[in-house]
Chain A
Amino acid sequence: MILAVDELEPGMVLDEAVRTHQDQLLLEAGRRVTERSIRLFKTWGIRRVAVRLPGEKAKVAVSQATPEDEEGIPWRLKERCGGGWNDPVMRELLRAAVRQLRLRRPASEG
């Protein structure tokens, strides 16, 4: 569920990592939001954040169905890269991997 930063409350669990416009990681998926992280999000101009409600399943559990960015790369893959994502060669690599994994498993692509 997507909430505006003003609606966040300490203790809520992030469903997706929060990143700056420069793609710097502020808080990883699965971490709890604190007063401090809410201030941090505001400082960095973050407007909306995906949080997990109690009982809601983590998105990260479904690897093929994770939301993708505008380049078609699953967010989860980007998160696993940490800072390495900023490398253009790594981005090329991930794009190629997504293409090849689709070719390998056409049936399981929803």
Chain B
Amino acid sequence: MSRPALRRELPRIEDLPTLPRTVLRITELINDPATSARDLARIIAEDQVLTARLLKLVNSSFYGFRRKIATVTEAVLMIGFEAVRNHLLTTSVFDLFPSRSPALRRGQELLWDHSLGCAVAAKAIAAAMRRDNLEEIFVAGLLHDIGKIVLIAKFPAEAEAVAARVARGAAILEAEEDILGCTHAAVGRRLAEHWNLPSALVQAIEGHHPPFAGGTPDEQAAIVHLADILARVLELGSGGDDRIPALDPAAWRTLRLSPTAFDAILASTLADFDDIGSFLR
């Protein structure tokens, strides 16, 4: 497909994937104040894969509960409705885009690891900032590159051309702009809107690359920007190229962190990545 044609098509991709029915039902239930933990658990328990993932998660050191959580109801009570939704959402997202080409599949696996690395790094940064919406930040990190997954699934030939150019030393944003006429950030925003994700999440997906709109990123976008750098420095997976982006000064100011916090953030990122990765991968 020629570049201008694709540029025209991307803003109105009609056949974007939808979320699994169970996840949609769960989202509806959580929005309903009358829902009890038992209602929610019953729907989750109908799906073996979701059940296994949820139990593995609550028993991982990500939560650090001292005793074993054995039932879905208990898991829902322990971590809360929002956390359940966020985690089921994120673990379902990557199932939506199976790739047939082995090369692209390998790229997807590396991208998943990169997303996971970015998610645990984002959570560690938010913890260092003493924020309490760690779940939400985690999801923002996990979904920040969702546009890349769409590109790989929907435009495999172009995605391979981008990958080839990146392998020769190009930066991924430039290669995407050149070959596709738009970036993964724009595609990610489209998907996030299609799924009615919260606006902070849409902004983190669209705006995690400088330059930021208005010069200053909002806090979540700034956290994801730094988390992306951390995941790349620690070589957790691959975001599609080998570059470590420069830390944007405006984003750094937004975070109000001291460089002395890096050791704790990085240590926590590595520990969480090894631990949580074993259940999400």
> Which residues of A line the B interface, CB within 8 A?
28, 63, 77, 80-84, 87-90, 92-94, 96-97, 99-101, 103-104
Contacts and interface: CB of A to CB of B under 8 A. Distances in A.
B277 to A, nearest CB: 13
Given A77-B244, A100-B234, 16 more contacts: A28-B169, A80-B242, A83-B246, A84-B245, A88-B259, A93-B229, A93-B233, A93-B259, A96-B259, A96-B262, A97-B262, A97-B266, A100-B266, A100-B267, A101-B270, A104-B270
Shortest 6 CB-CB contacts between residues of A and residues of B: A84-B246, A92-B259, A96-B262, A100-B266, A80-B244, A81-B244
Nearest to A86: B246
11 contacts: A28-B169, A77-B233, A77-B244, A81-B244, A81-B246, A87-B246, A88-B259, A89-B247, A100-B234, A100-B263, A101-B270
A84 B169 contact: no
B121 to A, nearest CB: 11
Name the residue in B169, B244, B252 with the highest tally of chain A Cβ atoms < 10 Å from its Cβ: B244
B28 interface: no
Nearest to B274: A104
Nearest to B267: A100
A103 B242 CA distance: 23
Interface in B92-108: none
B165 to A, nearest CB: 16
Instruction: Classify the secondary structure of B's interface with A.
Output: helix
A26 B229 CA distance: 24
B263 to A, nearest CB: 5
Contacts of B233: 77, 93-94, 97
Nearest to A63: B235
A87 B169 contact: no
A101 to B, nearest CB: 7
Interface of B: 169, 229-230, 232-235, 242-247, 252, 259, 262-263, 266-267, 270
Name the residue in B232, B263, B267 with the highest tally of chain A Cβ atoms < 10 Å from its Cβ: B263
A24 to B, nearest CB: 14
Contacts of B232: 80
Nearest to B226: A93
Nearest to A90: B247
A82 B246 contact: yes
Given A77-B233, A89-B259, A92-B259, A103 B267 contact: yes
A89 B265 CA distance: 14
Contacts of A84: 244-247
Contacts of A88: 259
A62 B232 CA distance: 17
A87 B247 contact: yes
A90 B243 CA distance: 13
A87 B212 CA distance: 19
Contacts of A97: 230, 233-234, 262, 266
A93 B247 contact: yes
A68 to B, nearest CB: 15
Contacts of B229: 93
Name the residue in A84, A87, A97, A103 with the highest tally of chain B Cβ atoms < 10 Å from its Cβ: A97
A93 B266 CA distance: 9
Contacts of A103: 267
B243 A82 contact: yes
Nearest to A31: B169
Nearest to B262: A96
A23 to B, nearest CB: 13
A22 to B, nearest CB: 16
A94 B270 CA distance: 14
Contact of B266 (A28, A63, A82, A96): A96
